[in-house]
Structure 1
Amino acid sequence: MFLRRALACSRLLHRVALAPPLVRRYSPTIYKPDGTTHAVKEELTPLAKHIRDTVLATGPISIAQYMQLALTSPIGGYYTRGQVFGREGDFVTSPEISQMFGEVMAVWYVMHWEMMGRPAKTVFVELGPGRGTLMDDIMRASKRFQSFYASIRSIHFVEKSPELRKLQHDKLGCDWNVTATVGDKNDTGKTPLSSASQRHGGVEVGWHDVLEQVSVDGDCVPLVMAHEFFDALPIYKFEKGANGQWSEILVDVADSNAAPVLPASPAQLRGSLQSAGDDSNASHFKFVRARGVTSNAAMVLRDQRFDSLFDKGDRVEVSPESARVMIQLADWISTNNGMGLIIDYGADWTQGDTFRGIKNHRFANPLTSPGSMDLTADVDFSYLRFAANGRAKCYGPIEQGSFLHSMGIQARLQQLLQSTNDSKVQKDLVDCYKRLTDVHSMGRVYKVLAVLPNSSSGSPVPFAQPTAESSSKPEAASP
């Protein structure tokens, strides 16, 4: 069975081979903690002043609230900026590295569309579409499969940032003047379809602030993609005390004595709580431990598994917003007989010290210069599976390198290498392939999770059938 599926992947990718190599030339980047030191306080920007005033007025705030303000505030939030991706931005995503990534994803959707009986109507829904590169590559590759492409009725982007919406619009070659400007709202409060895509044969493209605003016809099968979406959703952080109670880790003004300073963590994991501590004196903010049990701790950690799986001194990062989105996504996919892929960096267990900033392709203190960097935390895939349990079937996660190899990325690489005699282009193609698949780069840290309806039978390519135990509960961090 697996061999037949592998051969099918190879045949499908061969049909994509007519597309020429798209040279993006993003050299491999190794993220390293920033060792820069600062002796004086950084500039107090309007956003930093707003966060400071909020803390002074209400007391220390949750990390989740800090993330929301730093990333999406209209007075300087990170995602209100335009160029946050690529070499000129702060980080590079897999679709920006190579066209092969999006082409492989297109093949996955085509293969499972055929396995589902080739439904006549489909819609693509992408959560957090970045610059639109991934969907652009998926649609371009999909044109090689005429019946599948003919089934696509519309594309829906779940994206709040006006600046990123403009980039997505330009990438897909949409005409702004067809209907309402992005951001306008109709009488129902929903963002209408903003334009029609001229580049992809007139397929309508719509933008929405949240998944709840996406509305499709009942006979349309949703094809969902969430690539590097869940890692940016707000998290709460907690630490288990000697008395067995969980204390919340909060953000306070650096010169405030409202709460004791959080002691250094023994686990300094990739830009974690103290990873960029060398410049902590420059920040206007600091981490503190709540004096008592907060309402967040009481609500988020009320499940007994958190008491049974963790010991005193352990920290956990939990994203209730991720669970909420996953529940809705699972219900939607099952109700509409759709399919989805979730691709992100993370682990299949709960971790405690992964919250960090990313700036200029390096890890940075997440409390420094709010609004100037991306804030992120590793995705807890076990938590997503737990949220979807009983609502939809989850498969995986499996490592990105394993997924791409199983789907035939090596065959696609050979096709692209044979299509050009330019040695520099060939070298770039190989470098990009290695970066996507190598265990020392993106191949291992990034994971892929598939979501299918409860009514589906058999496991999707290239996933194994999940066990009852893996679907029932999140796991503790590995020792």
Structure 2
Amino acid sequence: MTPLAKHIRDTILATGPISIAKYMQLALTSPVGGYYTRGQVFGRSGDFVTSPEISQMFGEVMAVWYVLHWEMLGRPSKTAFVELGPGRGTLMADMLRASRRFPDFAKSIDSVHFVERSPELRKLQHAKLGCTPESTKYVLDKSAQDTPATALSNTGNIAVHWYDLLEEVKLEPDCVPLVMAHEFFDALPIYKFEKGTGDLWSEILVDVADSKDEAADASSKMGTVVSKLEQGEDACHFKYVRSRNVTANAAFILRDQKFSAMFDKGDHIEVSPESAHTMTLLAEWISANKGMGLVVDYGQDWTQGDTFRGIKSHKFTNPLSSPGSMDLTADVDFSYLRYAAKDKAACFGPVEQGFFLHSMGIQARLQQLLNTTRDASVQKNLVDCYKRLTDPHSMGRIYKVLAILPKDSSVVPIPFTPPKAEELNKPKIEKVVK
């Protein structure tokens, strides 16, 4: 067992089975070997590739969206980019570079603010944005030496700030936030529940397994079948179990009767209260500061039941196997995010990523890049990247884009349409027939 697996095992043995949310939190961010304490997790040499790592076109198109809506909001004189979960900093670097094509907009950018807990990823972001060592101030925590807290980027001499939490981000009173949350919500902890008799819900928990076979058998009994592809060769020291009684999590999170009314005995659902909390903060903040935001992630516009999984070496794998060695993720429930923003901000979408990118001109940008080279291999790579980002059989459909504007805004953002009355801030449910 790895030190992290031993830590999780000891926690369970001391306190009893833990929620999937607790397991995710330990496996991803624990200082004892959590996944995001590592630096090289993105890209072709890592475990997964995000849209900004696939092509510069993605970040360039996103920058154009902010420029257009900066114009629509009256060209505020001072703005700040705020990114949640910025990865290696590639998306922000591309957006800042593309912004320089629009001098008035670029002049308004006062600072960049990253919400990032990982010391290793902060260092990568620091390098990607070309921050100078002499301008850098580091966190005071001796256990995280050389972790940047503030610095100056050589792209426009822009100040860059890092924070552990969204609540810590502080902007000047006259500064308009331009928020980006790209593949951020999918990594936030989820709780999983199973409908019992009447209005009672059991919680699906994580317990210690004596063997790999016991872990697979327990997953099957929970209705959470782990395929042979996901089982892999790694030892699995944990298993899913069903709570014997209604847990405090189930009683609190599922207190709304709509859950019981829409599901039948044996159905599963996944809920992320931390996602709702973060979305509420974002909505209030954007409205209070007359800002704007985009949420880009994979998921659906309804509640789902069995999407929790691990990703390692670009393949799905058993999320309970070798914690700390893989990314853990679940599909985003965009209807839940909209519901969390109810009466606090105006939400538009989600729309599919392919539709969004095409509407914002990615094909024109592709043609520009193709015209800059006669190298057939470079041209083929550009076209392949474009297809991967936009094709409905790749990332074009499963990835969605949600826009957030102030609640009193009269602007309808491009390429969104006003929501229908029956869809406004109303969570939807996916009913899976087993």
- TM-score tier, shorter chain, comes to over 0.9
Residue of 170, 192, 195 corresponding to 2:151: 195
Cα gap change, 1:279 to 1:137, in 2 (>3 Å): closer
| C-alpha distance in 2 between matches for 1:172 and 1:410 | 27
Pair 1:180 & 2:137 matched: yes
Unaligned residue ranges in structure 2 (runs of 5+): 142-146
In percent, how many aligned pairs have the same letter? 69
Pair 1:127 & 2:84 matched: yes
Pair 1:69 & 2:26 matched: yes
What letter is aligned with 1:248? E
Cα gap change, 1:255 to 1:267, in 2 (>3 Å): closer
| C-alpha distance in 2 between matches for 1:387 and 1:428 | 40
Cα gap change, 1:265 to 1:464, in 2 (>3 Å): farther
| C-alpha distance in 1 between matches for 2:382 and 2:227 | 37
1:462 maps to which residue? Answer: 415
Unaligned residue ranges in structure 1 (runs of 5+): 1-43, 186-190
Pair 1:50 & 2:3 matched: no
Equivalences for 1:439-454 in 2 at 5 Å?
439-454=392-407
| C-alpha distance in 1 between matches for 2:84 and 2:312 | 22
Residue of 179, 187, 196 corresponding to 1:224: 179
Pair 1:148 & 2:91 matched: no
How far has the Cα of 1:92 moved from its partner?
A: 0.1
Structure 1 counterpart SS, 2:9: helix
Number of residue equivalences: 423
1:377 maps to which residue? Answer: 330
| C-alpha distance in 1 between matches for 2:167 and 2:128 | 25
Pair 1:339 & 2:292 matched: yes
Residue of 238, 262, 280 corresponding to 1:285: 238
| C-alpha distance in 2 between matches for 1:184 and 1:176 | 16
| C-alpha distance in 2 between matches for 1:131 and 1:411 | 27
| C-alpha distance in 2 between matches for 1:267 and 1:310 | 17
**Maintained 8 Å contact 1:280/1:368:** no
**Maintained 8 Å contact 1:280/1:365:** no
| C-alpha distance in 2 between matches for 1:193 and 1:241 | 48
1:304 maps to which residue? Answer: 257
* Alignment TM-score, normalising by the size of structure 1: 0.85
How far has the Cα of 1:366 moved from its partner?
A: 0.2
Pair 1:234 & 2:189 matched: yes
Cα gap change, 1:192 to 1:255, in 2 (>3 Å): closer
**Maintained 8 Å contact 1:132/1:172:** yes
How far has the Cα of 1:88 moved from its partner?
A: 0.7
2:164 maps to which residue? Answer: 209
Moved over 3 A (4+): 260-268, 273-281
How far has the Cα of 1:310 moved from its partner?
A: 1.2
Residue of 96, 112, 121 corresponding to 1:164: 121
* Alignment TM-score, normalising by the size of structure 2: 0.94
Structure 1 counterpart SS, 2:162: strand
| C-alpha distance in 2 between matches for 1:240 and 1:369 | 29
How far has the Cα of 1:241 moved from its partner?
A: 1.4
**Maintained 8 Å contact 2:4/2:323:** yes
| C-alpha distance in 2 between matches for 1:139 and 1:48 | 40
Residue of 215, 224, 246 corresponding to 2:201: 246
**Maintained 8 Å contact 2:20/2:206:** yes
What letter is aligned with 1:430? V
